[in-house]
Amino acid sequence: MGRLVMKFGGTSVANIDRIRNVARHVKREVDAGHDVAVVVSAMSGKTNELVEWCGDASPLHDAREYDAVVASGEQVTSGLLAIVLQGMGIQARSWQGWQIPIKTSDAHASARILEIDGSEISARFKDRQEVAVIAGFQGINPQTNRITTLGRGGSDTSAVAIAAAIRADRCDIYTDVDGVYTTDPRVVPKARRLDKIAFEDMLELASLGAKVLQVRSVELGMVHNIPVFVRSSFDKPEDIDPHGTPPGTLICSEEEIMESHVVTGIAFSKDEAQISLRQIEDKPGVAAAIFGPLADANINVDMIVQNVSEDGKTTDLTFTVPASDYNRARDTITSSKGKIGYARLDSATDVSKVSVIGSGMRSHAGVAAKAFKALSERNINIRAITTSEIKFSVLIDAAYTELAVRTLHTLYGLDQT
């Protein structure tokens, strides 16, 4: 007997039939004697619809009211799942974020969880054997008593945070894929599902383009050491042994992985834009003059490459931003041209970032060099490079993205079973 958090995404609860399927998954775990808390997303497409309604109501709307509207999608799903579970003879009740409460910051639409009181849910496990069906993606700011939301993908974060709060043995993230793969199977048909992946590797994959999990949920799992299983909600509930190892991918601490590969996976993102500033005077304070205004505009800068001229008087500086922020970033830099003092601004939006991730890089030399050689043999030009202890990323022309991913996937033996 254990304590589980089960999280179901939008495609898993897209209609009543799928909600009934989710209920069968929950019943399987309840019948096995587990305490169960379920975290649900809004039905597939509903959040987008609610966001669109807010924009139609007023292009410049109050962020607090925006949260009140978009949080309603999860409220509907949690109530419907509780009704279905009750109809199956299972004790269940729905919980909204403010009822638990899930206390958050007041950054509406991108709030961060501050504290969760899981005592009432734990007490109901003991006294009533009651399943808690919790609306994900939302909480409450204790100072204002206003509903807040955690940003897109926030239900994953809710689930892992609740698992930590109620001291769950495991958090199962049910989605429309059956685990974490070495890369996107749509790009590389030979991509393999990983049985296990370390938190650090998953954090890099999630932040560099993999869409399986939200980055903050992985961070929380790592901080609180909550094992997370990524698994498919479309597996037949009755075919799964609730006492066995779940099918899917376990995200866990590195110590639990007996043999880690040098490279775990390849991530890529086409949502990139490159900005290059030419002939900047090389003096103290220039970098601050460039990146300070971008930070004030909440524009996230990723890859940064600086080249100093031979005489040491000027420098070229290249960086990348999300493609969605490209116009704002360019306008921000242009408006600060007098303070920065650059001669020319070059830019490109037809670029992509390909990243190689693996904890094994810590103890192996030459991993990146192999990639650079392989890419050059394919005539793929590298515009920029960044590295860290367990990953490196290259910026290339977008047209070569899939070729680069396939090349690197084969290079590091990820095609092999």
- Rounded CA-CA distance 144/114 in Å is 14
Residue numbering of the annotated binding site: 7-10, 47, 74, 175-176, 181, 186, 211-212
CA distance 146 to 412: 50
Q: Per residue, what are the HEC states of 147-201?
A: EEECCCCHHHHHHHHHHHHCCCCEEEEEECCCCCECCCCCCCCCCCECCEEEHHH
Q: Please, is 208 exposed, middle or buried when counting C-beta atoms within 10 Å of its C-beta (0-12, 13-18, 19+)?
A: buried
CB 329 within 8 A of CB 294: yes
The whole-number pLDDT of residue 310 equals 66
Domain with CATH 3.30.2130.10 in the chain: 266-411
Chain region(s) in the chain for CATH 3.40.1160.10: 3-254
In which residue ranges of the chain is pLDDT below 50? none
What is the pLDDT, as a whole number, of residue 255? 81
- pLDDT for 1 equals 65
Q: How far apart are CA 328 and CA 395, in angstroms?
A: 21
pLDDT of residue 37: 98
User: Cα(124)–Cα(115) distance, rounded to whole angstroms?
Assistant: 20
Per the CB < 8 A criterion, the answer to whether 250 and 228 are in contact is: yes
Q: Are 150 and 109 in contact (CB under 8 A)?
A: no
Cα–Cα distance for residue pair 239/24, rounded to 1 Å: 11
Residues 205 and 360: their CA atoms lie apart, in Å, by 15
Confidence at residue 20, expressed as pLDDT on a 0 to 100 scale: 97
Q: What is the pLDDT of residue 166?
A: 97
Query: Positive or negative CA dihedral for 217, 219, 220, 226?
Result: positive
Indicate the helix (H) or strand (E) that contains 138: strand 138-141
Burial of 389 (0-12, 13-18, 19+ CB in 10 A): exposed
Residues annotated within a binding site for ATP: 7-10, 175-176, 181, 186, 211-212
Q: What is the pLDDT of residue 4?
A: 96
Looking at the DSSP bridge assignments, the partners of residue 308 are 315
Beta bridge partners of 307: 316
pLDDT at 105: 95
Residues of the binding site for substrate: 47, 74
Closest to 134 (Cα-Cα) out of 38, 217, 15: 38
Architecture field, domain 3-254: 3-Layer(aba) Sandwich (3.40)
In this prediction, residue 81 carries a pLDDT of: 98
Q: Superfamily for 266-411?
A: VC0802-like (3.30.2130.10)
| Secondary structure (3-state) at 26 | helix
What is the model's pLDDT at position 243? 83
